[in-house]
Amino acid sequence: MRRILIANRGEIARRIIRTARLMGIETVAVYSDADANAPHVREATLAVHIGPAPATESYLRADKIIEAALKTGSDAIHPGYGFLSENAAFADACLGAGLIFIGPGADAIRAMGLKDGAKRLMRQAGVPIVPGYQGDDQSLDRLQRSANAIGYPILIKAVAGGGGKGMRRVDDADSFADALLAAKREAARAFGNDSVLIEKYLTQPRHVEVQVFADTHGNVVHLFERDCSLQRRHQKVVEEAPAPGLPESIRKAMGEAAVKAAKAINYVGAGTVEFILDVSEGIEKAPFYFMEMNTRLQVEHPVTEFITGYDLVEWQIRVARGEALPAKQKDIRIHGHAVEVRLYAEDAEGGFLPSTGRLERLHLPANQAGVRVDSGVEEGQEITVHYDPMIAKLIAHGTDRTVAIDRLVNALDATIAVGPKTNRGFLARLIGHPAFRAEEIDTGFIERHMGELAPIINVPDRLLALAALAAATPRAAPDMSSPWTALRSWRLNLPYRQSVDLFLPDNTKRTVTLTRTAEGMISVGGLDEPLLASPAWRDDYRFEVDFSGSLARATVLAHEHSLEVRVGGLTFHFGLRDNAEGDKGALPRDGKLMAPMPGKVLGIFVKPGQSVEAGDRLLVLEAMKMEHRLTAPAAGTVKAVHIGENDQVPEGRLLIELDVEQASA
Ligand code: ADP
């Protein structure tokens, strides 16, 4: 194999390029209009433009990608994950064009493509599956009877589902019919297939998946498990390997079941067999069930690479070249522990809405011991609505779980991203949470602890003072070389007396006053007790305040109208103006509901003249592959609806106007 075309973008394209280069193999990048300046394009040996920004017109265009491979004399295609990676027709088309598809055969992809078929197949192969109904009869009567027989709560799942879409939990027989209709509607829209399956809803499960690998010589091995139980809306947020507290007997049984699953479909290459582990009665004898198999390399593969010491992309390429697997089962061992988090451009403090825009600053901790960073974007690059908003994966390894978590905490602390909002602070709170450290994990973890994972609103006085001082003077020019210059400009710019409004995450306002004293210090008022302070910027982000001999050091990031202050592993968020007024996407006090981001209108639930209560669903907008509900900020009457279903709307577009009822005093 001399040259591989990578039918993907972002971090996974760069990841594949890295290994190919080590193996002396050339790479071909493909890119859309939006990615002309993306790092994967520059890092590949060659690059081919394949179309406009929307993935349907570029990264999902099998024909253009195969044409690019042929034109560049590539002999193989690596699909990465997402996009065409689990598309059986694409795998076939590659073969048809005389190209090697770096992945399993199309039949194996098809066998695992639909959840119902995959489960039936696994049941036959003797792999345990969650009790449920996976039949073809999709009538309400049949499905309702199955649900009743299983016993509530049950879960309705779209057979073609993915990414947590098309799933509905149902708690009693009475709400089944409505939930079924909703699930089928969502599935039809998202996957063009409204078939569903019904299964027992496990109330306290862990998501444990096993990495498998198979070659064309009949060898199949597993590379142990990953625990991906920390999820939000059924999507993974933190992944680790091995699974904390998993008894050796279960580990062994799961590994064997995964190998059995791979063998049942004559699997070749890298795959992941996902299991759900029922820990409601404790983990010692927890039963596990097959959930689905992902027939590709996964986002979270680095934690497995860390604990096994193998390069899974290298294994993929070797298998595709027809070589035998590089290791035998008995030689594959677990070394230490690894944890991964996904850094996303999303407003974790504001309801997890996706956030777009230019990454003004991006610093990722590339050189810390035991830390690996796989990133897809660079400083200056735009996070667009077209693709997954992942900025980077941060992965840490250590001799044990505590060391790995500590390293990841430090890595997150050293991560600087200015521009779009990110989930960095949320991730730091999550992996720093005592219950996570104590291995008290299951898929309900995030929901259960949401209160403690929310941004801090009880801010100590010294921190309010520090934030106000940092906000009072805009930072010196970013390339300012000497901190002393910055310090001088600070003193020069600060008027005799100034007040700073700081808005806490719950939008309460604290007004802090800063008054210069004769000694050149600053007296900070508006707090429980006044403080005397002497502040200084040490560089672009490091800010220090000497409070009468006691020094407070913080990392301070300012962007537009917000301030992020990090002290001792904690992150505090401050708004510098009232979020409820004027900010895009904020509560429309004038009754005008604007699009908080560009997106597609999936559904409109109100008509002009209709009266609504505060919190009523008005419309659903799809942006960055996620659905966002926009709800009525207050009771009122719908005055006008300015958009139609399926409309593509730009950010700030007027969507719906309400006549808001005046609150009676
Ligand atoms: P998708 O393909 O949409 O990601 P999965 O079948 O992989 O859907 O399930 C995603 C997540 O949903 C799982 O990791 C788990 O947290 C939850 N889940 C799936 N099946 C069940 C179940 N039977 N009971 C409880 N939770 C479940």
Q: Report the C-alpha gap between 110 and 85 in whole angstroms.
A: 12
The answer, yes or no, to whether any atom of ligand 1 lies below 6 A from the CB of 163, is yes
Host H or E run for residue 43: helix 39-43
Ligand 1 atom 17: residue of nearest CA: 234
User: pLDDT-based confidence at 201, cuts 50/70/90?
Assistant: very high
> Could you tell me where the beta strands, DSSP code E, fall in 538-651?
542-547, 550-559, 562-567, 570-575, 592-594, 599-604, 611-612, 617-623, 626-631, 636-641, 648-649
Ligand 1 binding pocket includes 169 (Cβ within 6 Å): no
Give 98's DSSP letter.
T
CATH class for the domain made up of 131-200: alpha beta
Residue with CA closest to ligand 1 atom 1 = 162
Q: Which residues contact 380 (CB under 8 A, 6 or more apart)?
A: 358, 359, 360
Query: Is the backbone of residue 357 left (phi > 0), alpha (psi -120 to 50) or beta?
Result: left
**CA–CA dist 179, 33 (Å, integer):** 40
Which regions of the chain carry the CATH code 3.30.1490.20?
131-200
Task: For 635-658, write each residue's pLDDT tens digit.
Answer: 888 999 999 988 888 877 889 988
**Ligand 1 and 94: CB distance under 6 A:** no
Tell whether domain 461-575 is in CATH 3.90.25. no
| CA neighbor of 95 nearest in space, from 56, 130, 62, 117 | 62
175: tokens are 């709400």
For residue 626, give every residue at least 6 positions away whose Cβ sits within 8 Å of its Cβ, in sequence order, or none. 354
Residue 486 has pLDDT above 70, yes or no: no
Question: Which protein residue has the closest C-alpha to ligand 1 atom 8?
Answer: 164
Mean pLDDT of 406-435: 95
> Residue 190 has what pLDDT?
87
Would you call 22 exposed, middle or buried from its count of C-beta atoms within 10 A (0-12, 13-18, 19+)?
exposed
Cα 225 to Cα 220: distance, rounded to the nearest angstrom: 15
Return the pLDDT at 587.
43
**Cβ atoms of residues 618 and 603 within 8 Å:** no
- Ligand 1 pocket test, pick from 228, 234, 288 with the greatest ligand atom count within 8 Å of Cβ, gives 234
443 φ/ψ sector (left φ>0, alpha ψ -120 to 50, else beta): alpha
pLDDT in tens, 244-293: 999 999 999 999 999 999 999 999 999 999 999 999 999 999 999 999 99
Rounded to 10 degrees, what is the CA torsion of 294, 238, 325, 313?
90
CA 234 to ligand 1 center in whole angstroms: 6
d(CA 526, CA 512): 5
- Closest to 229 (Cα-Cα) out of 213, 212, 246: 246
Q: Which of 112, 199, 276 to mutate to test the pocket of ligand 1 (most atoms within 8 A of CB)?
A: 276
Beta bridge partners of 473: none
**Torsion, CA 280, CA 285, CA 286, CA 292, rounded to 10:** -170
Q: Residue 24, class by beta-carbon neighbours within 10 Å (0-12 exposed, 13-18 middle, 19+ buried)?
A: exposed
**Direct distance between the N- and C-terminal alpha carbons of the chain, in angstroms, rounded to an integer:** 75
202 CA: nearest ligand 1 atom: 24
| CA of residue 233 to ligand 1 center, whole Å | 10
Share the mean pLDDT of the chain: 91
| Higher pLDDT, residue 622 or 160 | 160
Specify the higher pLDDT residue, 125 or 631: 125
Ligand 1 pocket check for 298: Cβ under 6 Å: no
- Of 227, 443, 447, 625, the residue with max ligand 1 atoms within 8 A of its CB, to mutate for a pocket test, comes to 443
303 Cα–ligand 1 center, Å? 21
The model carries a pTM of 0.86
Residues of the chain with CATH 3.30.470.20: 105-129+206-335, 336-454
CB atoms within 10 A of CB 397: 24
C-alpha 466/C-alpha 574 separation (Å) is 11
Contacts of 175 (CB under 8 A, 6+ apart): none
pLDDT, residue 475, reads 60
Q: Hey, what CATH topology would domain 592-664 get?
A: OB fold (Dihydrolipoamide Acetyltransferase, E2P) (2.40.50)
> Rounded to the nearest whole angstrom, what is the distance from the C-alpha of residue 225 to the centroid of ligand 1?
17
The closest-lying atom of ligand 1 relative to the alpha carbon of residue 203 is 25
Write down the pLDDT at residue 460: 93
Residue 529 in this model has a pLDDT that exceeds 70: yes
Quick one: DSSP state of residue 197?
A: E
pLDDT at 583: 38
Atom of ligand 1 nearest to the CA of 207: 14
- Cα(298) to centroid of ligand 1, in Å? 16
Closest by CA to 314, choosing from 12, 19, 85, is 19
3-state secondary structure of 94: helix
> What is the architecture, at CATH level 2, of domain 3-102?
3-Layer(aba) Sandwich (3.40)
Q: Is 113 in the pocket of ligand 1 (CB under 6 A)?
A: no
Over residues 584-599, the pLDDT tens digits come to 333 445 678 888 778 8
Which whole-number Å values give the CA distances from 191 to 81, 163, 177, 386, 550, in the listed order?
Answer: 18, 11, 21, 18, 59
* CB-based contact 37:9 (threshold 8 Å): no
442: CA distance to ligand 1 center in Å? Answer: 12
User: Is 234 close to ligand 1, i.e. is its CB under 6 Å away?
Assistant: yes
C-beta of 636 in contact with ligand 1 (< 6 A): no
pLDDT, residue 494, reads 60
What one-letter code names the amino acid at 480? M
**In the 8-state DSSP scheme, what is residue 339?**
E
Distance 80 CA to ligand 1 centre (A): 22
Is 321 in contact with 256 (CB distance < 8 Å)?
A: no
Catalytic positions, written as ranges: 296
User: What is the token pair recorded at 333?
Assistant: 């061992």
Give the pLDDT score at 568: 84
Contact predicate 611/641, CB 8 Å: no
CATH classification (class only), 336-454: alpha beta
Cα-to-centroid distance, 185 and ligand 1 (Å): 19
**Tokens read off for 76:** 């193989």
For the domain made up of 105-129+206-335, the CATH class stated in words is alpha beta
Cβ 59 vs Cβ 32: under 8 Å: yes
pLDDT for position 624: 65
- Measured from the Cα of 164, ligand 1's closest atom is 3
Q: Determine if ligand 1 sits within 6 Å of the CB of residue 153.
A: no
- Of residues 479 and 338, the one with the higher pLDDT is 338
**Proportion of the chain above pLDDT 90, given as a percent:** 74
Kindly state the tokens that stand for 507. 């939008």
Q: Closest ligand 1 atom, CA of 236? A: 14
Place of tokens 């520059």: 42
Whether ligand 1 lies within 6 angstroms of the CB of 132 is answered as no
Give me ligand 1 centre to Cα 116, in Å.
13
DSSP letters spanning 288-308 = EEEEEEE-S--TTHHHHHHHH
